[in-house]
Copies of this chain bind each other. A is one copy, B any other.
Amino acid sequence: MHRHHVTVVEGVLDANDTIAAANRADFDAAAVTVVNLMSSPGAGKTMLLERLAPMLDGVALGVVEGDVQGSYDGDRIAALHVPVTQINTAAGFGGECHLDANMLRSALGALPLEAIDLLIVENVGNLVCPAEFRIGEDARAMVISVTEGEDKPLKYPLMFHTADAIVINKLDLLEHLDFDLDLLRANIVAVNPHAEQFLVSARSGEGVEDWRDWLLRLLL
| B residues in contact with A193, CB < 8 Å | none
Supposing A41-B148, A127-B41 touch, asked if A176 and B173 sit within 8 A by C-beta, the answer is yes
CB pair A155–B40 under 8 Å, yes or no, is: no
Q: Known contacts A72-B154, A128-B97, A154-B72: does B178 contact A147 (CB below 8 Å)?
A: no
Copies of this chain, whole number = 2
B173 touches A128 (CB 8 A): no
Q: Which of A66-80 contact B (CB under 8 A)?
A: 67-70, 72
Evaluate contact between A126 and B97: CB separation under 8 angstroms. Answer: yes
Q: Is the interface of A mostly helix, strand, loop or mixed?
A: loop
Question: Contact flags (1/0) for A148-181 with B, using CB distance below 8 Å?
Answer: 1101101111100000000000100100111000
Q: How many A residues, CB 8 Å from partner?
A: 35
Closest-by-CB residue of B relative to A76 is: B151
| Measured CA separation A176–B177 after assembly (Å) | 10
Q: Is A36 in contact with chain B by the CB < 8 A criterion?
A: no
Q: For the complex, give the distance between the alpha carbons of A5 and B3 in Å.
A: 57
Contact among B41, B72, B151, B156 with A68 in the assembled complex (CB-CB below 8 Å): B156
Per-residue interface assignment for chain A, residues 83 to 117, with 1 indicating a CB less than 8 Å from any chain B CB and 0 otherwise: 00000000000011100000000000000000000
What residues on B are CB-neighbors of A70 within 8 Å?
154-155
Known: A42-B148, A95-B132, A125-B155. 12 other contacts (CB 8 A): A40-B41, A40-B42, A41-B148, A41-B152, A41-B155, A42-B152, A72-B151, A72-B154, A124-B128, A126-B128, A147-B173, A173-B177
A–B complex contacts, Cβ < 8 Å, 11 sampled: A40-B41, A41-B148, A42-B145, A42-B148, A68-B158, A72-B151, A95-B132, A96-B128, A125-B127, A125-B156, A173-B173
Taking Cβ atoms with an 8 Å cutoff, the residues of A that contact B are 40-42, 67-70, 72, 95-97, 124-129, 132, 145, 147-149, 151-152, 154-158, 170, 173, 176-178, 203
